[in-house]
């Protein structure tokens, strides 16, 4: 148990300190997808086109390379006042378009790009438009927590559909309920099998899978079943200012290697608190596997200083 924080980050985040960020091996994960996309395009009747916004060009390039399909030429520029202008430099009429645009930091700018590109594709008469959004921004506002709260995740779904998407592909949404916010098909992919493979390679002797909150119990439980490992849930209570106020470990971690499974790391505050609580309960080591490495603010420094 080497103290690394492996993060299969669909978004982007800084690196530093002791918390090494391991990027996903995209080619290995989508090697079988070429046939699926080709078959899907064939059934749809349109030629396949891949496009990418600025959300994560490195990821888009790796996907294109793995599929053996070039990224269609598109220019995204700004006017003098900062507004975006999009020019799709080749015909997409009647084609089966996959637009790769995760809405990672800066979230709002990447969302605006997504909306404008979708609108441009729709007006260019694309046959079908699939929005590939590995990291779905505003997902943590999927319900009203207090009076007069917005449900931002639903609003984003409405705008994505209105802008022109016919289908959405997302990875480890913060809440399964977000799929129901769309009136179009949603392919909700998970990193569960990839995480299970990673843990198995590292060794499962004396390990326990941990969900850092009740909401992630289903995800942690799925991985625990694949590996035939016990699962522990951390009951987390928050104060009014959204800080973690109280933690209670439900299950046994004493003398075991705790492996925390989460969908995203934002500020890192929850993981730091949970890791200290697990160590206080007698865990030998603490590791973290998270799909989306948002890593906002000083998250990397916090994780490096934590017992992870």
Please give the biggest Cα pair distance in the chain: 61
DSSP state of 72: P
Q: What six digits make up the tokens of 300?
A: 């990397």
Question: What is the rounded CA–CA span in Å between residue 189 and residue 178?
Answer: 13
98 bridge partner residues: 50, 130
CA distances from 247 to 14, 175, 260 (A): 28, 21, 14
Q: Return d(Cα 256, Cα 261) in angstroms, integer.
A: 15
How far apart CA 98 and CA 168 sit, in angstroms, is 9
Closest Cα to residue 93, out of 69, 127, 116, 141? 127
CA distance linking residue 195 with residue 134, whole number of Å:
16
Q: What are phi and psi for residue 207, nearest 5 degrees?
A: -100, 155
User: Hey, which residues does 76 pair with through a beta bridge?
Assistant: 86
> Are 234 and 211 spatial neighbours (Cβ–Cβ below 8 Å)?
yes
Residue positions annotated with a catalytic role: 236
d(CA 147, CA 81): 36
Report the distance separating Cα 230 and Cα 275, nearest Å.
18
What does the block give as tokens for 280? Answer: 């206080």
The DSSP secondary-structure symbol of 73 reads P
Bridge partners (DSSP) listed for residue 67: none
């Amino acid at each position: 148990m080497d103290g690394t924080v492996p993060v299969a980050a669909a978004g982007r985040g800084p690196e530093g300190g002791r918390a090494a960020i391991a990027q996903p091996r995209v080619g290995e994960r989508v090697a079988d997808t070429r046939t699926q996309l080709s078959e899907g395009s064939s059934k749809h009747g349109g030629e396949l086109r891949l496009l990418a916004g600025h959300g994560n060009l490195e990821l888009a390039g790796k996907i294109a390379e793995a599929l053996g399909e070039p990224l269609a030429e598109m220019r995204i520029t700004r006017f003098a006042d900062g507004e975006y202008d999009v020019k799709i430099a080749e015909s997409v009429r009647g084609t089966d378009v996959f637009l790769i645009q995760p809405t990672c930091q800066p979230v709002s700018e990447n969302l605006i790009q997504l909306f404008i590109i979708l609108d441009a594709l729709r007006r260019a008469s694309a046959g079908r438009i699939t929005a590939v959004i590995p990291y779905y921004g505003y997902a943590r506002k999927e319900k009203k927590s207090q009076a007069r709260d917005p449900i931002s995740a639903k609003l984003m779904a409405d705008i994505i559909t209105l802008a022109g998407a016919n289908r959405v592909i997302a990875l480890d949404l913060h809440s399964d309920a977000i799929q129901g916010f769309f009136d179009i098909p949603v392919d909700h992919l998970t990193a569960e099998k990839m995480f299970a493979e990673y843990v198995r390679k590292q060794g499962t002797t004396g390990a326990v899978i941990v969900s850092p909150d009740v909401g992630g119990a289903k995800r942690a439980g799925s991985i625990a079943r694949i590996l035939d490992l016990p699962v522990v849930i951390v009951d987390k209570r928050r104060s009014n200012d959204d800080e973690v106020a109280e933690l209670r470990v439900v299950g046994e971690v004493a003398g075991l290697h705790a492996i925390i499974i989460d969908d995203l790391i934002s500020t890192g505050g929850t993981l730091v608190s949970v890791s200290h609580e697990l160590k206080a309960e007698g865990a030998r080591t603490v590791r973290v596997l998270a799909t989306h490495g948002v890593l906002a603010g000083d998250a990397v420094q916090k994780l490096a200083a934590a017992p992870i």
